[in-house]
Structure 1
């Protein structure tokens, strides 16, 4: 990792849905992310952790500016260049080439009626790369991700692939333009434990090989210990703690983080003792404040 200008720098980022765009017809703007800040260096892997609804995915979508119904304030700088308020053409240029994103369910990210080759090669085709060259690079990308018979399987359809192989296809499409940042939004949630390990290993391997920065979004602290360099914890739309991964597991400072760690099942735990929950720790904090 380098120590110069961060690849991505987020400062005081807030995301809200304007009243006019609210589907629940509520009054006032709806705040989703509140004053979040972090940075990522080239080649660094940062895990953004929190329960469902904590604002993790909204933060990722704000960085990529994928949802036009959201309004942003604060700062998102890419290699020192401000992206908040940037023209749509700027974001179109960056998405897929400088930064890419993969999601938790590869089947929803893939078009079932298009071949694997069409979908992996698409990021190159839309940028004017000749079809033959784009398909050759698509086969290389699949081969790099250990998809067997990569050249032959360009003609296959998503339904012919297992869940783990479909996730590799999505990763190949995300990485074919050799981006500097990969945002992985719960990429292992829909996979079994064995395949989860394979996908996590691939992400770590590619990060090391390509000097690829990774923003890894997950609700599961247990899977980030061997993957991330740093961990940022979100709770109710706010960033409550950020530490190097070893320090966070050894000495978490926020009650919410302690609750997340305590709620991870352990093989050596006494089965007669109730597993502690996040709410236990947050209730303790509220009791201390009220005392």
Structure 2
């Protein structure tokens, strides 16, 4: 058995009292005692509503937010992130762990060419310009960017949304990371391009043995992509199951609520969809009635 390439143990992310801007007092906990592992080549979806702590967990792995305090442990390819010097973390970004962000247009610098942005991770590691450029063309070709060699000097605005996301993925993958975090990578794309991006992520995971952590609020897109699904609510991990098991028999009321709120083509359009809160209230009522019945016995 090999060690996981990503091992999160007892992670707590909090905003210190001194830097809070919401008028509250005391440290504000955003992620509470989360533990999660990824094996090499494994694809895990981290799901939950907006504000559940998914992206904050991802940023903690990359150490991207200097305004929060981290406690617990995050090990990437055997290297501890929590408490590590900033210089060490900078070396890990791009080589051990990379991230694909939600909106490719804001993730790319509009005044730098595609070539400059894809080669940057290699150039920062001392790779000669010509070699870095050749490797960038190869990576863009692999990800389906047509005429990649001719488009290295193009700018982001000259690419479609789907092509820009491929460029972002090329920049994230070119350093050969062990772990790729994809934070809502399909939200800004139409349905057809969403499928293409997920297919690309799955293909790269298989070919490179890449562990992928897909952050999403949309359970509908993970069924055919992930090996496991981890569900977050209010900063806590409430369920972590194999994808087929979770869809067949969700254990937590919140997970059941998320699944129940997914629209289906067979739904009656005149009937209001059940919300997450609806399902959780129904579960609580059933539990209360069961407790009352047991007490009468």
Which residue in the other structure is 2:138 paired with?
140
Larger Rg: 2
Report Cα offsets for 1:245-289 as digits up to 9, x if no partner: 000000000111011111111111222322111010222344456
Supply the distance in 1 between the matched residues of 2:271 and 2:110 (Cα, whole angstroms): 47
Supply the distance in 2 between the matched residues of 1:271 and 1:67 (Cα, whole angstroms): 43
Which residue in the other structure is 2:80 paired with?
82
Which residue in the other structure is 1:256 paired with?
254
Mean Cα deviation higher: 227-236 or 275-284? 275-284
Which residue in the other structure is 1:284 paired with?
282
Which residue in the other structure is 1:71 paired with?
69
Supply the distance in 1 between the matched residues of 2:79 and 2:185 (Cα, whole angstroms): 28
Q: 2:170 aligns with which of 164, 169, 172?
A: 172
SS of equivalent to 1:73 = strand
Q: Which runs of 5+ in 1 are unaligned?
A: none
Report the alpha carbon displacement of residue 136 of structure 1 after superposing the two structures with TM. 1.0
Which residue in the other structure is 2:46 paired with?
48
Which residue in the other structure is 2:218 paired with?
220
Report Cα offsets for 1:6-49 as digits up to 9, x if no partner: 11111111100101122324311111000111100000001000
Residue 115, structure 1, aligned to residue 113, structure 2: yes
Supply the distance in 1 between the matched residues of 2:80 and 2:129 (Cα, whole angstroms): 34
SS of equivalent to 1:75 = strand
Q: Which runs of 5+ in 2 are unaligned?
A: 290-297
Supply the distance in 2 between the matched residues of 1:146 and 1:81 (Cα, whole angstroms): 33
Supply the distance in 2 between the matched residues of 1:9 and 1:175 (Cα, whole angstroms): 20
Question: Normalising to structure 1: TM-score of the pair?
Answer: 0.96
Report the alpha carbon displacement of residue 237 of structure 1 after superposing the two structures with TM. 0.5
Q: 1:130 aligns with which of 120, 128, 131?
A: 128
SS of equivalent to 2:154 = coil
Report the alpha carbon displacement of residue 290 of structure 1 after superposing the two structures with TM. 5.9
Mean Cα deviation higher: 231-240 or 74-83? 74-83
Question: Normalising to structure 2: TM-score of the pair?
Answer: 0.95
Which residue in the other structure is 1:106 paired with?
104
Supply the distance in 2 between the matched residues of 1:165 and 1:55 (Cα, whole angstroms): 29
SS of equivalent to 2:153 = coil
Supply the distance in 2 between the matched residues of 1:162 and 1:187 (Cα, whole angstroms): 15
Which residue in the other structure is 2:294 paired with?
none
Question: RMSD over aligned Cα, in angstroms?
Answer: 1.2
Contact 1:184–1:216 (8 Å) recurs in 2:
yes
Which residue in the other structure is 1:160 paired with?
158
Supply the distance in 1 between the matched residues of 2:230 and 2:267 (Cα, whole angstroms): 27
Mean Cα deviation higher: 11-20 or 212-221? 11-20
Supply the distance in 1 between the matched residues of 2:21 and 2:150 (Cα, whole angstroms): 45
* Number of aligned positions between the proteins: 289
